[in-house]
């Protein structure tokens, strides 16, 4: 059986539309992945700052941190690095 491949303007348009769809899906996929990664980083940063704020004086001393250091870091918004 022989398949005849046509290369007319409709077929070219369909191929181009498929290529554009693939590019659009990959771009959306990357954007969503980057967004979820950013949310994870923000959540982790907020968790760490909360733990830092709850640290005892003994633990702060072990780390060489003052209460002022702790206050400065733990009061930053989660989106600030």
Position 64 in a domain: yes
Residues of the domain holding 65:
9-74
How high is the pLDDT of residue 70? 94
Position 4 in a domain: no
Position 33 in a domain: yes
**Cα 36 to chain center, whole Å?**
4
Return the ∠ at Cα 23 (arms to 17 and 39), rounded to 5°: 140
User: Does the model's pTM come out above 0.75?
Assistant: no
Q: State pLDDT tens for residues 10-57.
A: 889 999 999 999 999 999 999 999 999 999 999 999 999 999 999 999
How many domains, the chain?
1
Position 3 in a domain: no
Position 19 in a domain: yes
Position 23 in a domain: yes
């Amino acid at each position: 059986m022989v398949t005849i491949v046509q290369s007319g303007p409709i077929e070219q348009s369909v191929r181009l539309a498929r290529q554009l769809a693939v590019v659009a899906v990959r771009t959306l996929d990357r954007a969503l992945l980057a967004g979820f990664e950013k949310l994870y980083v923000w959540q982790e940063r907020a968790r760490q700052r909360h733990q830092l704020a709850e640290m005892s004086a003994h633990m702060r001393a072990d780390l060489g941190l003052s209460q002022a250091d702790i206050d400065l870091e733990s009061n930053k918004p989660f989106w600030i690095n």
